[in-house]
Amino acid sequence: MSSPSSASTASTASASTFTPTSSTTTDSTDSPMEIDDLPSMTSRYSSDDPDDSDDDSDESPSSKSLPVLKRRRQSYPLKLKKHIVAKVDAMRAKDPRLTITKVMEHLGYKNYYYSRWKKDITVAEQILSKRIVDVTTVPGFIPNETHRQLHSGKVSILEPYAKQLQDKVFTLRDRGLQVGLDTVIREASRLSLTFKNKTAPAKRCVASRFIKRIGLSYRTPTHVAQKHHKETELLASAFMEMVRGRVKMMHPEAVANMDQTPIPFSYTSNKTLSKKGSRSIHLLAPGEKDRCTFNAAITMAGGKLKPLIVFKGQANGRIVKKELTTFSDGAFWYCQKNAWCDDRIMKEWVLKVLPLWIADLKAQFGNEHIVPLLILDAYKCHMQASIVTLIQDLGIEVLHIPGGCTYLCQPLDVGVNRTLKKSVKSEWDDWMERTGSVTLEKPSRKLIGEWVLKAWNDLDAQTVRNSWKKKGFEWVL
């Protein structure tokens, strides 16, 4: 049995020779790189912890005259604490001569964190297993591995009124009305005199923390309409019930949906990634925001009809005569003064695109009598008698989707337009990375046309078929 002094000497010798390339750490699992591979989950909090402050005793007199800023310490999530503690235990089990201090320094953390984190892990496991209940915590709070604290802090003064405030918010949202922080503040002021007597900034702080605690957040509306969404859903359901039996007996290739969607020349956003705390965020973006209109049609079988693209310009001007004639023949190209689909453009689409569709159906089904069905929305030029008559003269039946129901019933809106625009935006992003630092000119019409055609041609048949199958509003059950 070795003496205490010899054991101490052995421990010291082991500690002094402990390096990342030591034989005790040759295993790849002991590499500190594994810690770096974890997702960054740290945030900064101000602290007066003397252990986390630097020794400033050697500062010059001039530096001491400057304002002293609070040093900010890191806060680590429970997942990282568990990983580090397990790492230290595993390394010391492999080589008992290693000390906690040296292992923690090797991993890049202060040695006293080990004992602190072990206590945190024990408390967290007790809370998660519901073996203890802390009466100071907000009811329902259960920490998980992304939390940086084991309790939710002081109970909000609005906690006794949580049910009433939630009911108020949900009642207004069920009516389709907009609800914001001011709504919560007004209702909380009515319910609580203590809250009402607070200053305006304090009210906003308390209300903001409270709505976050109960799981509410600001969301961007996905559909804005003048009718209540439940009324629209009932109308759309009734429409689908009416047409399903009719569509079910038809060939999928003979059922088509046509719609227009705008394609912008630039996809700048009002948000960008930047360093946290930056006060000025600069962004390069093209000054003009032109667009074109993409006229598309798809069939229930997954087919795509030849598209028609409209740019801004005169109907028979220079762009049409000298520029559009050089574009790809994969689409029909036109100009309109606002790049919209008006009566003239719609007539051109009917006379150019629909005959090609009819020819394909005849080639596929021969002499079989088929009456194709074209589904349109309630857009003004789709509803005009002259347009409807022109389509019917080609032997095609027309069906209009009720106004406000396109986001539920129109296949192009359900599953195609968003995918198409996302692909075009990806092309624009690549183009901006290549040229944005050199020039802020918008992409040319020809380039936009190439991007749109590429996105359209890359759209697979299964995606097109799936767009007819929105849950609850399927065209064929």
Q: Give me the phi and psi of 56, to 5 degrees please.
A: -105, 20
Confidence of residue 2 (pLDDT cuts 50, 70, 90): very low
Question: Cβ of 109: how many Cβ atoms within 10 Å?
Answer: 21
Of 246-250, 342-346, 364-368, 386-390, minimum mean pLDDT range? 364-368
In our burial notation (b when 16+ CB lie closer than 10 A, e otherwise), range 418-440 reads ebbbebbbebbeeebeeeeeeee
pLDDT on residue 437: 55
Indicate if the pLDDT at residue 317 is higher than 90.
yes
Question: How many angstroms separate the CA atoms of 53 and 177, rounded?
Answer: 51
User: In this predicted model, which residue has the larger pLDDT, 88 or 21?
Assistant: 88
| Structure confidence at residue 92 (pLDDT) | 93
Other CB atoms within a 10 A radius of the CB of residue 128 amount to: 13
Distance in angstroms (rounded) separating the CA atoms of residues 350 and 424: 26
Residue 40 has pLDDT above 80, yes or no: no
Model pLDDT, residue 75: 78
Q: Report the DSSP beta bridge partners of residue 297.
A: 258
How many angstroms separate the CA atoms of 308 and 320, rounded?
14
Asked if 95 and 30 touch (Cβ cutoff 8 Å), the reply is: no
180, with CB counted inside 10 A (0-12, 13-18, 19+), is: exposed
What does the alpha-carbon distance between residue 322 and residue 349 come to, in Å, rounded to a whole number?
21
Comparison of pLDDT for 41 and 314, the residue scoring more:
314
**Most distant pair of Cα atoms in the chain: their distance:** 107
Band of the pLDDT at 132, cuts 50, 70, 90? very low
For the chain, give percent helix, strand, coil, nearest 5.
50, 10, 40
Residue 363 pLDDT exceeds 50: yes
Say what the pTM is.
Answer: 0.62
Written as six digits, the tokens of 321 are 């005569």
Confidence (pLDDT) at 141: 56
- Predicted pLDDT of residue 45: 36
The CA distance from 273 to 138, in Å, is: 34
Which pLDDT score, from 0 to 100, does residue 386 have? 94
Q: Report the pLDDT value the prediction gives residue 441, as an integer from 0 to 100.
A: 76
Angstrom distance (rounded) from CA 314 to CA 337: 6
> CA-CA distances (angstroms) from residue 85 to 92, 112, 117, 459?
11, 12, 7, 50
In this prediction, residue 172 has a pLDDT band, given cuts at 50, 70 and 90, of confident
- Stretch 132-137: mean pLDDT: 44
Residue 420: predicted pLDDT? 95
Burial class (CB in 10 A: 0-12, 13-18, 19+), 242: exposed
* Tokens 């996105």 found at: 455
Q: State the pLDDT at residue 77.
A: 84
The answer on pLDDT for 224 being more than 80 is no
Instruction: Read off the pLDDT band of 146 (50, 70, 90).
Output: low
Choose among 156, 136, 84: nearest CA to 115.
84
Structure confidence at residue 148 (pLDDT): 59
Average pLDDT, whole number, for the chain? 80
Given this model, what pLDDT does residue 275 score? 78
How many C-beta atoms lie closer than 10 Å to residue 326's C-beta? 8
CA atoms within 13 A on the CB side of 131: 6
Pick the closest to residue 456 from 338, 340, 328, 346 (CA basis).
328
Instruction: Judge whether 274 and 281 are in contact, CB under 8 Å.
Output: yes
Answer yes or no: are the C-beta atoms of 379 and 209 closer than 8 Å.
no
pLDDT above 50 for 19: no
Token duo for residue 300: 């229930």
Instruction: Report d(CA 171, CA 452) in Å as an integer.
Output: 43
Q: Higher pLDDT residue, 121 or 423?
A: 423
The model's confidence at residue 54, banded by pLDDT at 50, 70 and 90, is very low
| In the predicted structure, residue 91 carries a pLDDT above the cut 80 | yes
Task: Classify residue 304 by its DSSP letter.
Answer: B
Q: What mean pLDDT do residues 53-67 have?
A: 44
pLDDT, tens only, 204-218: 999 998 888 788 888
Position of tokens 């984190």?
117
Mean pLDDT of 225-239: 83
* Cross-strand partners of 258: 297
CA–CA separation, 424 vs 432, rounded Å? 12
Which residues have CB under 8 Å from 228's CB, separation 6+? 175, 176
pLDDT value of residue 143: 61
Per-residue confidence band for 439, with pLDDT thresholds at 50, 70 and 90: low
Smallest CA-to-CA distance from 71 within 50, 90, 95, 97 is with: 50
Whether pLDDT at 377 is above 90: yes
pLDDT value of residue 266: 85
